[in-house]
Amino acid sequence: MTRNADRTEIHSWLDTTSGIVLMLLGVQFLTGILLAFYYVPSTYHAYATVEFIEKTVSSGAWIRSLHHYGSQWLSLFLFLHVIRLFLNEAYVHSNTHWIASVVLLGLVMAGGGTGYSLPWDARAFFSTRIAEGLVGGLPFAGRLGRLWLLGGSEISTLTLSRFFAMHALVIPGLIVGVIVWRRLTFMNSQRNAIAAGLMFVALALWCLKFHAPLGPTTAQMGAEYAPRPGAQFLWLYQSLKYVPGGLASIVGLVLPGIALLLLVFLGRLRGARLIGGVVLGGGALLIIVMTTAAYVSA
Q: Which of 16, 18, 28, 101 binds ligand HEM (CB under 6 A)?
A: 28
Length of the chain: 298
Q: Does 71 bind ligand HEM (CB under 6 A)?
A: yes
| Dist CA 235 CA 162 (whole Å) | 26
| Dist CA 192 CA 15 (whole Å) | 8
Segment near ligand HEM (CB under 6 A); pick from 9-17, 116-124, 265-273, 280-288: 116-124
Q: Which of 60, 112, 267, 283 binds ligand HEM (CB under 6 A)?
A: 112
Q: Which of 137, 230, 252, 283 binds ligand HEM (CB under 6 A)?
A: 230
Residue closer to ligand HEM by CB (options 111, 227) is 111
Report the nearest approach of ligand HEM to the CB of residue 284 (Å): 20
| Dist CA 258 CA 271 (whole Å) | 17
Q: Does 182 bind ligand HEM (CB under 6 A)?
A: no
Q: Does 50 bind ligand HEM (CB under 6 A)?
A: yes
Residue closer to ligand HEM by CB (options 115, 136) is 115
Q: Does 116 bind ligand HEM (CB under 6 A)?
A: yes
Segment near ligand HEM (CB under 6 A); pick from 8-16, 64-72, 178-186, 215-223: 64-72
Left if phi > 0, otherwise alpha if psi is -120 to 50, otherwise beta: which for 89?
Answer: left
Say if CB 248 and CB 136 are below 8 A apart.
no
User: What does DSSP assign to residue 37?
Assistant: T
Segment near ligand HEM (CB under 6 A); pick from 29-37, 136-144, 178-186, 192-200: 29-37
Burial of 76 (0-12, 13-18, 19+ CB in 10 A): middle
Taking alpha carbons only, the member of 217, 295, 284, 236 closest to residue 112 is: 236
Torsion of CA 51, 228, 233, 67, to 10 degrees: -20
| Dist CA 229 CA 212 (whole Å) | 12
Segment near ligand HEM (CB under 6 A); pick from 5-13, 113-121, 203-211, 221-229: 113-121
| Dist CA 256 CA 271 (whole Å) | 20
Q: Which of 19, 60, 115, 252 binds ligand HEM (CB under 6 A)?
A: 115
Residue closer to ligand HEM by CB (options 110, 193) is 110
| Dist CA 190 CA 251 (whole Å) | 41
Q: How many residues bind ligand HEM (CB under 6 A)?
A: 27
Q: Which of 16, 17, 21, 64 binds ligand HEM (CB under 6 A)?
A: 64
Contact footprint for ligand HEM (CB under 6 A)? 25, 28-29, 32-33, 35-36, 39, 50, 64, 67-68, 71, 74, 108, 111-112, 115-116, 118-119, 167-168, 172, 175, 212, 230
